[in-house]
Structure 1
Amino acid sequence: MKKLSAFIVILSLSVTVFAQSKSERHEQIETVKIAFITKKLNLNTEEAQIFWPVYNDYQKELMILMKKRREERLRKDIDPNEKINLDLSYEGKMLDLKKKYKKLYSKAIPPEKILLLYQAEREFREHLIEQLNHRRKSSNN
């Protein structure tokens, strides 16, 4: 029942997300993501107060890495082999970031909830992709 209610909330909010500007959509998605993760992790007040600032820092660092990676991928002045090496380098940096934040998360939540966090992030991403694909199919018909 909890999964169904969480899914309904996400579904209803995600429908409104696509009718907004890019920044409004991003903000709305982040709000839904926070609610989704909070529900999945069943965070108590103390855990939430410690966890969310750490998670937000992780998201900021990850977005910076992803932006740099996108910029490198768009460069036309380097050969394909160098692009591959750069891409692999960014993969390593992202893995290092995840390892760093796993240690920081462990100061806020137990390992079981860290595992749930990784699962919740994956589920949320899959749901957004599913919604996007559904919208693309609907607009093509």
Structure 2
Amino acid sequence: MKKLLYISLILLIATNSVVGQKKNRQNIKLLKTAFITNAITLKPVEAEKFWPVYNQYTNKIQQLKVDLENSKTQEFKNSGGIDSLSESDAQKVLDQYLLYEKEVYETKISMIKDLSTIISAHQIIKLQKAERDFNKRMLQEYGRRKRMGQ
């Protein structure tokens, strides 16, 4: 009985942790949406067309980055760590990295082309700046919270 209670408690804690992370991601996404909307002064009509396109491309870019990290991690595990990689395996990892980077680059070009039919070039430049500024603020906030022990 105690064992079952202990296992249930561990599952409850693990579930809360996962749910909390998901909620934090959603909150960050909402903050980013508000930040970008404000930064590029989207009108409601523009926003209606902008966000589905923007989200589609940013999700694809994020998935490419996750795939790259998973691929590298798996390669490192298979070889026993970075220091154990043979030169040919290291070259494979680099080649894979370049392919992913090229695909991210091409995805960003497609996104800009598609967005240029919805918003102005001026707004696209503001979008790029807003993304950098948002990421910078997020890192600053993370550092501040880490220093404060949160």
Query: Could you say whether these structures have the same fold, taking a TM-score greater than 0.5 normalized by the shorter chain as the test?
Result: yes
How many residue pairs are counted as aligned between the two chains?
121
- Quick one: which of 119, 131, 138 aligns to 1:128? 138
> What CA distance in whole angstroms lies between the structure 2 residues aligned with 1:137 and 1:73?
30
Q: Per chain length, whose mean CA-contact separation is higher, i.e. which structure has more relative contact order (CA < 8 Å, sep 6+)?
A: 2
> Aligned partner of 2:107: which letter?
L
What SS does the aligned partner of 2:149 have?
Answer: helix
Q: What residue ranges of structure 1 are gaps of 5+ in the alignment? A: 1-19
CA RMSD of aligned residues (A): 1.6
What do the CA deviations read for 1:58-100 (whole angstroms, capped 9, x no partner)? Answer: 1221122111111112023362221122112111111000001
Range with bigger deviation, 130-139 or 40-49 = 130-139
1:102 aligns to what? 112
The answer on 1:53 being equivalent to 2:63 is no
Tell me which structure has the larger Cα radius of gyration.
2
What SS does the aligned partner of 2:118 have?
Answer: coil
The TM-score, its normalising length taken from structure 1, stands at 0.80
The TM-score, its normalising length taken from structure 2, stands at 0.76
Identity %: 26
What do the CA deviations read for 1:80-126 (whole angstroms, capped 9, x no partner)? Answer: 22112211211111100000100000011000000000000000001
> What CA distance in whole angstroms lies between the structure 1 residues aligned with 2:71 and 2:146?
28
